Structure 1
Amino acid sequence: MDALGVVGDLGWYCVGAVLWAKNYELPNVVSALPAGVTRNSAGIVLSCTACLNYDQDHKTVAVIHCSFFSYTSMDLSITGTKGSLHLKDFVIPYQEGSSFFELASPATFMDDQTGWNAETEKVVVDNELPQEAFMVQELARLAQGIKKCEFRPDNRWPEISRKTQIVVDAIKKSIDLDCKPVYL
């Protein structure tokens, strides 16, 4: 088990999704929520909910929940002023051959103010191979290209990994500080 428990395991994907949605910008404040933290008898975090706050002009708040107790829940929802995106299997696809996400934009109240006028668009992505096979193919392609001096490694990945780990560590630190905010 990861030394950071669920935060270092499933939380990595949740944090990565938030950073992706925010163009890899770090939040200003990270706070674990006291009611959302569950530990086992050894003190390992098994379930966690945390808020990532961004204090820019648009005042973004991201809430992540990662848990070893959440059966087949691998959802990602992003809601903004111009639309929303919902993906039900962002960590591991439920089906090897395809995955899908739903988009809705823009949304306004209907004339009688009783509902929204937005229709959801379902976008299906078909895969020829399982994602693990694509990962192995990509690794082999990258290694071969670097070996032959055809191209250099993509420099953005170390920075993305570093930022993801900074936020993961801040969540764990907040948990260890009885869910007090951690400023980045």
Structure 2
Amino acid sequence: MAEEAAPIRFGILGCAEVARKVSRAITLSPNATLYAVGSRSLDKATKFAASNGFPPHAKVYGSYEGVIEDPEVDAVYVPLPTSLHVQWAVLAAQKKKHLLLEKPVALNVHDLHKILEACESNGLQYMDATMWMHHPRTTQMFHFLSDPQQFGRLQSVHATSTYAVTPYFLENDIRVKPELDALGALGDTGWYCVRAILWASNYELPKSARALHKPTYNDAGVILACAASLSWEDDKVATFYCSFFTNVSMDIIVMGTKGSLRVHDYIIPNQEKEARFSTSSNSNWLELSLGWAPNPSDHVVYNDLPQEVHMVKEFARLVGAIKYNNSKPEDTWPIISRKTQLVIDAVKTSIDNGLEPVEIKG
């Protein structure tokens, strides 16, 4: 194999459930390969590699250090608890490993800055693992939102991300432990909502955020459900709701002066190989308000590869361009991550300050 075509060698830090999905994506991606996995338990790492498609030559380590110290590892995927991200992401960057970081990427923007600075100073590619961003449907939906004749000017966005958890989850999952993932539902499901709102607004930061009501907490003070509103200088508005108590919901409603977009499964499509959304443009009432004219249009996007494979492919492509062609890291992904974290931080501050509005400064 010519060097320029050699796949990017991934190491994985930890054996979280989501790492199984990303391991599969790396296996399916033509420009990536599973090369190493590390866990605090060698036995756990060995079992993870055996059950998740790692090739026979893959390295298995009983520590995270083993992966980031391995000179053959090009990039690391980090699905560790959020409280550990800044430590291990910075160490990985110092060892010249490109970084695919699971969301939420940090507990606050101060920690994220440390991660991004470590990547930038070492000439490394950074990307957060918000998988739906890479689905072909997302591109098609954005084309519609960018059409001044079909959509017009953005007026409002509403996003949800919810799922009903089990009693076991509420007692044991890292997402309800303040020492592991202190942001709780705001960091987990709220991250998707905030990213969707920023995506729909072409990543224009809102001027302010305000929590809409007192969140639901567990006994340890971790947020289990919350809602917030965002506003812009030009009077655009957005709202979102995230929860560990509500039936699965992954909705985006985007409204413009001339059209609207609706999607019911933006985070995880109902079917792996096809994804749907609906649009309406320049609509009005029929005679006696008996219906719409024209009716909303339904769209289906077919894809051979799951969205997480598209994510890995794109990340590996960027890493390969740096490794083989001396390209510069793509800065779009760090900028988007930072803006998402800024909004999350503002909502958290509003919650902590008794639901007062909080200015968002870029």
CA distance in 2, matches of 1:131, 1:93: 9
Q: Which runs of 4+ in 1 moved over 6 A?
A: none
Greater Rg over alpha carbons, structure: 2
1:170 Cα shift? 0.4
Match of 1:44 in 2: 222
Match of 1:13 in 2: 192
The DSSP-based 3-state class of the residue aligned with 2:278 is: strand
Q: How many residues are matched?
A: 181
Percent of pairs with identical residues? 48
State whether structure 2 residue 331 is matched by structure 1 residue 152.
Answer: no
1:67 Cα shift? 1.0
- Aligned to 1:60, which of 229, 236, 239? 236
CA distance in 2, matches of 1:115, 1:76: 23
Match of 2:202 in 1: 23
The DSSP-based 3-state class of the residue aligned with 1:112 is: helix
State whether structure 2 residue 256 is matched by structure 1 residue 80.
Answer: yes
The DSSP-based 3-state class of the residue aligned with 2:254 is: strand
CA distance in 2, matches of 1:8, 1:116: 39
1:152 Cα shift? 2.5
CA distance in 1, matches of 2:209, 2:245: 23
1:114 Cα shift? 5.0
CA distance in 2, matches of 1:135, 1:42: 35
Match of 2:277 in 1: 101
- Report the residue type matching 2:242 in the other structure: C
Q: Is the 8 A contact 2:253 2:263 kept in 1?
A: yes
Question: Looking at both structures, which has the greater relative contact order when contacts are Cα pairs under 8 Å and sequence separation is at least 6?
Answer: 1
5+ long unaligned stretches in structure 2: 1-174, 176-180
5+ long unaligned stretches in structure 1: none
CA distance in 2, matches of 1:60, 1:68: 28
CA distance in 2, matches of 1:12, 1:145: 29
Q: Is the 8 A contact 2:211 2:357 kept in 1?
A: yes
CA distance in 2, matches of 1:50, 1:22: 16
- Report the residue type matching 2:182 in the other structure: A
State whether structure 2 residue 294 is matched by structure 1 residue 118.
Answer: yes
- Report the residue type matching 1:41 in the other structure: D
CA root-mean-square deviation: 1.5
